[in-house]
């Protein structure tokens, strides 16, 4: 009986240690969570106001049609920004939710708000102080792409991370 308990506990500890390992790819800087002010070994600049920084280049989280769930492929982008914000407590961001042109104004405002709230919630779960993050919606009022193709619609279904000066 105690052998079975020992074996079960060993398996549980092994599973927990595997779960602690990230299955999400690291951001392109390769800094592995040292996204504070840049990693000396990689030479990456981690400054949201510097156009060469990944923080400035990767500010949008794109969503599937009629969805406000952050897709797995954008989790590393949110993590990168969250790492920066946790190490820069005085920095604030505004998450701007957007929707494509399909649907009514009120519906798209609500959907954009849910998208910005989802990104903001993920950041706070990653340790960002809630006072650093404001979530708003522009609905369909601020499109990146002006056409009406599927690619244009996809470009407009997003939440943008806007650093405040």
**What pLDDT does residue 164 have?**
97
Q: How far is CA 19 from CA 24, 39, 149, 151, in A?
A: 12, 26, 40, 36
Compute the mean pLDDT over every residue in the chain, rounded to the nearest whole number. 83
**What pLDDT does residue 45 have?**
87
pLDDT bracket for residue 17 (50, 70, 90):
very low
Residue 129 has what DSSP assignment? -
pLDDT in tens, 36-89: 444 433 568 899 999 999 999 999 999 999 999 999 999 999 999 999 999 999
Contact 108, 60 (CB under 8 A): no
Q: Which CATH number fits domain 46-164: 3.40.50.150, 2.60.120.260, 3.40.50.300, 3.30.1330.60?
A: 3.30.1330.60
pTM above 0.85, yes or no: no
CA distance 102 to 49: 33
Which has more pLDDT, 19 or 52? 52
pLDDT bracket for residue 119 (50, 70, 90):
very high
In sequence order, what are the residues at sequence separation of 6 or more whose Cβ sits closer than 8 angstroms to the Cβ of residue 43?
Answer: none
Neighbours of 90 (CB within 10 A): 6
Angle, in degrees to the nearest 10, between helices 105-125 and 75-87:
60
Neighbours of 84 (CB within 10 A): 24
């Amino acid at each position: 009986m105690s052998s079975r308990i020992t074996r079960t506990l060993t398996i549980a500890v092994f599973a927990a240690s595997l779960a602690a390992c990230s299955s999400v790819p690291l951001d392109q800087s390769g800094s592995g969570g040292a996204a504070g002010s840049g990693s000396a070994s990689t030479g990456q600049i981690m400054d949201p106001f510097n156009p060469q920084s990944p923080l400035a280049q990767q500010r949008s989280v794109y969503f599937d049609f009629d969805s406000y769930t952050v897709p797995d492929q954008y989790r590393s982008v949110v993590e990168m920004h969250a790492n920066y914000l946790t190490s820069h407590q005085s920095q604030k961001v505004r998450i701007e939710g957007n929707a494509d042109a399909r649907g009514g104004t009120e519906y798209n405002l609500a959907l954009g708000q849910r998208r910005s709230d989802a990104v903001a919630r993920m950041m706070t779960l990653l340790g960002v102080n809630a006072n650093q993050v404001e979530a708003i919606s522009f609905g369909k009022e601020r499109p990146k792409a002006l056409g009406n193709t599927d690619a244009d619609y996809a470009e407009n279904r997003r939440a943008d991370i806007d650093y405040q000066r």
